[in-house]
Amino acid sequence: MIQIQAIRQSVNKVIVIGNHEPIIQSILDFDYSSGKTEGSITGIVTGRRGFVKYFFGRREILIPTLTAFPSLSKKTWFLNLNSGRRSLSTSQGAILAGCLGGAIFAENTPELHSLELIQLAQKHSALVVGPASVGLLIPGVLKLGPIGGITPTQIVEGRITKPGSMAVLSASGGMTNELISIATLAGHHLSFALSFGGDRFPALSPRDAFLLAQLDPETKTVLYYGELGGEDEYELVKLKEEGKFTKQVVAHIAGTVASLFPESPQFGHAKAKADKERTTALAKRVALKTAGFNVSHSFSEFIDLVNNLPSEGLSC
């Protein structure tokens, strides 16, 4: 799997599968705001040949539409905006064509398809986030998906084009963008950010994302937002205990309200249901804190912990 620093050192291109005009335009706005001389999107797979009009800054540009994923000669990523049931076949085509990785936006991808996708991504060492992910962001370098916002105002005011030392990791797309906002309002800039995705079987696990942060020389601190359900956090504890993760972490695990119900309810994401004591939000908080992570007892405390970290300044 390619490392974050190697992505920074590359000229990265993107092919979009499916059409979602606001998301596509937001990538071009990010590229322009990052000082690039041209947009990163080289084609949009729509099933028909032609061109579609977008803007790069104030200049109108034409992006070719394609009938299928092309053979690749450059370092290329895919952004899959197709429906959940088409995510597997179209992502397979992108990975087999030689993509470094990509992001899958759709929710409700069939679980068997997700498992096949995980195996394929691992076989080809592709860095894939999703399904049900808002994407991957490396400031000034790469924006895959609506992560960090989709309007020019969100991109500029969110300061997501200036690199820093804080990584944001979360399964939740909405909370990924919320954490980015909390970090930048506190005076921090991002080293990278990603959403694993809210489906039960994400292609990139929290464990692997933490290893990306560990191996990234620019990342000093990780902001992590987790939930009840599943055992991902125990894999993070294991990394810490084995000395494979050594960087500063500020974490919040949501879902303690589930303890107020006779039976744990199902929350918004597929994995967000505690089926045993070990997978409750409270048990996970205790495990992470015991291992040496900074863990908040409330979301307001999480914000305070971020605000109390030394800032990098608010310059754009």
- Tokens encoding 202: 């994400």
Residue type, 25: Q
Task: Write down the residue that tokens 């109108």 correspond to.
Answer: 60
Which residue out of 113, 189, 252, 269 is catalytically annotated?
269
Do residues 70 and 51 touch, judged by C-beta distance below 8 A?
no
Among 67, 63, 41, 43, residue whose Cα is nearest residue 52: 63
CA distance 195 to 199: 11
- Tokens encoding 206: 């929290």
Write out the DSSP string of 242-295: TTS--SEEEEEEE-GGGGGSSSPPP-SSTT---SSGGGSHHHHHHHHHHHT-EE
Do residues 176 and 147 touch, judged by C-beta distance below 8 A?
yes
Task: Write down the residue that tokens 């001389």 correspond to.
Answer: 37
Residue 77 has φ and ψ, to the nearest 5°, of -120, 160
Active site residue 113: no
Among 278, 265, 171, residue whose Cα is nearest residue 227: 171
In the three-class reduction of DSSP (H, G, I as helix; E, B as strand; rest coil), residue 172 is classed as coil
Write out the catalytic residue numbers: 269
